[in-house]
């Protein structure tokens, strides 16, 4: 069985996220998603629209995702790759080169992002709509 692992906040789940998960799953048989916890997002100075548990529930409904684990810190990636026996590490290409240190442990793939969609823009739009209401 070929295992794939990816990381992210997956806030305000949109079709770009689904495209990324679909393409990541196509690289193997089993997809593990390390989902950023609320505490880790706080360390990264990010505020999620949904809580960790809500984002986890959304990802659990996605047919491409086989397992969700918490992402608690930047340093856990090598341990996760080993623990979950990941063969492939996948991230969006805006991270290109940042995780090449994992090549000693698994294949590293950077996938192109879906154009014209991002969580930041979606959250800004939702905030604007909320203020207008």
Which pLDDT value is given to residue 128?
78
- Residue 33 tokens, joined: 């998603």
Which pLDDT value is given to residue 129?
74
- Residue 124 tokens, joined: 């800004």
Which pLDDT value is given to residue 127?
74
Which pLDDT value is given to residue 51?
96
SS3 of residue 117 by DSSP: coil
> Which residues belong to the active site?
44, 46
Instruction: Give mean pLDDT in consecutive 10-residue pieces for the chain, a chain of 133 residues.
Output: 97 91 98 98 91 97 98 97 98 96 98 80 74 78
Cβ–Cβ < 8 Å for 81, 102: yes
Which pLDDT value is given to residue 27?
98
Strand order in the sheet with 107-111: 67-71, 30-36, 3-8, 88-92, 107-111
Which pLDDT value is given to residue 32?
98
95: closest CA among 114, 110, 75? Answer: 110
Which pLDDT value is given to residue 107?
98
Which pLDDT value is given to residue 98?
97
């Amino acid at each position: 069985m070929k295992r794939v692992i990816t990381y992210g906040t997956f806030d305000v789940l949109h079709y770009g996220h689904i495209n990324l998960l679909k393409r990541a799953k196509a690289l193997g048989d089993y997809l593990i998603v390390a989902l950023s916890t609320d505490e880790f997002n706080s360390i990264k100075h990010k505020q999620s629209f949904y809580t960790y548990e809500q984002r986890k529930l959304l990802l659990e409904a996605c047919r491409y995702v086989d397992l969700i684990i918490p992402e608690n810190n930047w340093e856990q990636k090598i341990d996760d790759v080993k623990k979950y026996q990941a063969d492939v590490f996948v991230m969006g290409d805006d991270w290109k080169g940042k995780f090449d240190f994992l090549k000693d442990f698994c294949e590293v793939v950077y996938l192109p992002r879906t154009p014209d969609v991002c969580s930041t823009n979606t959250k800004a739009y939702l905030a604007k709509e909320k203020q207008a209401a």
